[in-house]
Each structure stands twice: as structure tokens, then as C-alpha cells.
């Protein structure tokens, strides 16, 4: 198989992955193959389910993050994360995705984001911290467990609000109640 992507130096951002051929929206640039090594939340490990992290083989970890990415994540039949063009990509363009497309929380990238886009959110944050509008933009290009985690988080918040509402009601007031004669 002819290589269609390649690792190169990305100006000012270390290494990155570049298209060698043009890609059309929906084309798969990288087929996700999970490595067997179990791993905790390591900076090059990706979230692969609601509770698990893992490594992918090949160039997966070389893709840079962008707040305005041209690729997204689609999980394949093996559980690996394909990296798929969200728009047309010209040959020699860098291929990027938003790390929030597969990680609910991101704790490993403490420094500022250097993606350089006008809509850069300043730091590389996880799905949990994306505004809803951005989540909507990424529909179809994010790991589905993130959506499930959102639903679970919303349920927890609702539950907490219900509990605090109950506390606010407190014990029944006694002042002003008619007293038995
Ligand atoms: Zn950015």
C-alpha cells in the first residue's frame, strides 16, 4: 500500500502528520489499530472508551491537535480510532484533529495551544470543556462514548440539583401554623 500520509516537521509545533495526496471529506487518512499495551492516562495514550486509555499503532500519536481541525475521529470495527477528513485536504497540508474529539478530560497539555487559528481556545482542553456550539460542529467526527459521558454528567447534575432543591425546602415551617387548642 502506498503511503498517503507522512510524519514531517511542523513549523514551530514539533512533528506533525502531512497529507501526501489530496483527501476528500470522509476519506480515512489513518486506520486506527490499537496496541495491546494497557496504559493509564498518558499524554500519548488516547481515551478509547468511557473508562479506558490505550495506544494506537503507527502515526496516530503524531497528529497534532488543532482548535480548527481538518480531521475527526470515527471508531472502526476493531475499536480503533480512524482519523477521517472532515473537509477536503490538499496534498502537503498538515492533517490535524481536535484532541477533545476523543478525550473527555485532558490534563497533560498544561501549556498554551499553539495551533495558531483565529478560533484557538488558548489551551488544549477536553470534550467536557467544549462549548455546545463546537460540539455540534464536530457531530459525526467524535468518539461516541463522549456523548454518553455528557448524558451521564447531565444526569448527575440534574440529580444534584434535585437533591439541593429538596434541602432548600428543609423541614416544614412551624412559625405561623395554627396551634391545636
Ligand atoms: Zn488552538
DSSP string, 106-127: --S--SB-----TT--SB---G
For residue 124, pLDDT beyond 50: yes
For residue 119, report the distance from its CA to the centre of ligand 1, in Å.
7
According to the model, what pLDDT value does residue 3 have? 67
For residue 77, report the distance from its CA to the centre of ligand 1, in Å.
30
Q: What percent of the chain has pLDDT over 90?
A: 66
Q: Which CATH architecture has domain 5-143?
A: Beta Complex (2.170)
For residue 133, report the distance from its CA to the centre of ligand 1, in Å.
16
Tell me phi and psi for residue 105, to 5 degrees.
-125, 145
Average pLDDT over residues 155-177: 71
For residue 21, pLDDT beyond 50: yes
For residue 153, report the distance from its CA to the centre of ligand 1, in Å.
25
For residue 177, pLDDT beyond 60: no
* Nearest-angstrom CA–CA distance, 16 and 33: 19
For residue 69, report the distance from its CA to the centre of ligand 1, in Å.
9
For residue 38, report the distance from its CA to the centre of ligand 1, in Å.
29
- Which pTM value belongs to this model? 0.84
Amino acid at each position: 500500500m502506498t503511503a498517503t500520509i507522512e510524519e514531517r516537521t511542523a513549523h514551530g509545533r514539533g512533528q506533525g502528520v502531512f497529507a501526501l495526496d489530496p483527501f476528500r471529506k470522509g476519506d480515512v487518512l489513518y486506520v486506527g489499530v490499537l496496541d495491546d499495551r494497557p496504559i493509564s492516562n498518558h499524554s500519548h495514550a488516547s481515551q478509547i472508551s468511557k473508562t479506558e486509555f490505550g495506544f494506537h499503532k503507527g502515526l496516530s500519536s503524531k497528529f497534532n491537535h488543532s482548535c480548527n481541525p481538518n480531521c475527526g475521529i470515527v471508531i472502526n470495527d476493531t475499536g480503533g480510532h480512524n482519523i477521517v477528513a472532515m473537509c477536503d485536504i490538499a496534498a502537503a497540508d498538515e492533517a490535524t484533529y481536535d484532541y477533545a474529539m476523543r478525550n473527555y478530560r485532558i490534563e497533560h497539555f498544561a501549556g498554551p495551544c499553539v495551533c495558531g487559528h483565529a478560533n484557538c481556545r488558548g489551551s488544549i482542553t477536553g470534550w467536557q470543556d467544549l462549548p455546545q456550539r463546537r460540539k455540534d460542529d464536530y457531530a459525526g467526527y467524535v468518539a461516541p462514548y463522549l456523548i454518553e459521558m455528557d448524558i451521564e454528567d447531565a444526569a448527575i447534575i440534574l440529580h444534584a440539583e434535585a437533591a439541593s432543591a429538596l434541602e432548600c425546602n428543609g423541614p416544614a415551617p412551624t412559625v405561623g401554623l395554627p396551634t391545636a387548642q
